Amino acid sequence: MTERPLVIVGMSGGVDSSVAALRLIEAGYRVEGLFMFNWEDPDSDCDAARDYQDARSVCEELGIALHRVHFAAEYREQVFQHFLHEYGAGRTPNPDILCNREIKFRRFLRHARRLGADFIATGHYARVAPGPDGPRLLTARDSDKDQTYFLHAIDPEALTRTLFPIGELTKPEVRRLAEQAGLRTARKKDSTGICFIGERDFNAFLSRHLPARPGIMVDCEGRQLGVHQGLMFYTLGQRKGLGLGGARAGNGAPWYVLDKDLADNRLIVGQEHDHPRLLSRTLWTETPHWLAGDPAQPPRDGLHAKVRYRQSAQSCRISVQGEGLRVDFETPQWAVTPGQSIVFYRQDQCLGGAVIRVRLTLDCPATDQELPA
């Protein structure tokens, strides 16, 4: 008799990974859990010890073994240092994407394989399905919880060894299954934000690691309106924290971050939510990462893309320019942000993505000779 496949589940101490393990047991797999300690900082609000205890309790309730492993050194080197470098360069990175690629679907997979696993599984809201050229990454049935945006950069080979047991479920269904099974995580609050920052003030955290360079805050005509605390503390489209409520040059409407002048250390702001400086039909990327084929090659029809999580995918055209891509949208996109990722889809399949390098705003007409190569 052939032994049942062994699946090692990445147990986070939350309800999603708890139900992922539950569903695999019910499906007849041999199941074990693994908890990853990815961050070590005595001043952090990232309560890994509490989450570990929740993961251990769930594994005891399910009757499965729980392993533990420390990836803090790898996380600091491969995720956190990149996070600091990007903020220091005036961009806005997404560390969750890099964490998935480097830690959860590379380091974790290797470690699980050494433990004898045939597959790994996580509590991500996504699906994997067979395709003519290998596994395909598909969006979750619950579109509000779909996490393929954060998974687009993982190694395609990892998909051959990965299961997403809750990809067909909605969040309410996940919580209901956890309650029916009596799991202590059934009503546990979802974690939000970046783990290594936790509930701390974001600006205070960055200031511990990067020198702040205050400068002037101006409108698009160059009129000085105030002082910013450092360009790294602001992101495009940001409304709160500008301190311009009573600026005389304004009309009483809210102010938004429109752009960053890195050369002169100026923060450019304006009062229209849909200001032309915040809208872009065209952007350029760094080198793309593809999970399935290369959609920059024919056929190119039916492509859609997201420039941020929770955005509905927008119709677009792509072409290769140098090592990266040029992406043109049918409708202007709001607050396209260098350092963030654009992720491509065809129907419900996630094809891959790339880091946004530069955008072309509606108030900045340019000839082809002026566009980035």
Q: Which residues are catalytic?
A: 99, 195
Which fold is adopted by the domain 212-270? SH3 type barrels. (2.30.30)
Give the distance, in angstroms, between the CA of residue 322 and the centroid of all CA atoms in the same chain. 25
Distance CA 38, CA 213 (A): 30
Residues 6+ apart with CB under 8 A from 293: 133, 351
Residues 206-261 pLDDT 10s: 888 999 999 999 999 999 999 999 999 999 999 998 988 756 566 778 899 999 99
Nearest to 137 by CA among 318, 342, 313, 343: 343
Give the pLDDT confidence of 254-286 residue by residue, as tens digits. Answer: 899 999 999 999 999 999 999 999 999 999 999
Average pLDDT over residues 152-172: 97
Residues 88 and 69: their CA atoms lie apart, in Å, by 31
Pick the CATH number of 6-180 from 3.20.19.10, 3.40.50.620, 3.20.20.450, 3.40.50.460: 3.40.50.620
Q: Does residue 153 register a pLDDT over 90?
A: yes
CATH number of 276-370: 2.40.30.10
Query: Edge-to-edge strand order for the sheet containing 215-218?
Result: 224-228, 215-218, 266-270, 256-261
pLDDT digits (tens, 9 = 90+) for 197-206: 655 678 888 8
- Which residue ranges does the chain devote to CATH 2.30.30.280? 212-270
* Burial class of residue 355 (count of CB atoms within 10 Å of its CB; 0-12, 13-18, 19+): buried
Residue 64 has pLDDT above 90, yes or no: yes
Pick from 371, 362, 18: which is nearest to 185 by CA?
18
Q: Where in the chain is the domain with CATH 3.40.50.620?
A: 6-180
pLDDT given at position 369:
42
For the segment 75-92, the average pLDDT, to the nearest whole number, is 93
Q: What is the pLDDT of residues 166-196, one digit of tens each?
A: 999 999 999 999 999 999 999 999 876 666 6
Tell me the per-residue pLDDT of 308-362, one tens digit each, with 9 for 90 and over. Answer: 998 999 999 999 999 999 999 999 999 999 999 999 999 999 999 999 999 999 9
Sequence letter at residue 299? P
Residue spans in the chain of domains classed CATH 2.40.30.10? 276-370
How far apart (Å, rounded) are the C-alpha atoms in residues 356 and 136? 24
- Strand, helix or coil at 331? strand
pTM recorded for the entire structure: 0.92
Higher pLDDT, 190 or 304: 304
Average pLDDT, the chain: 91
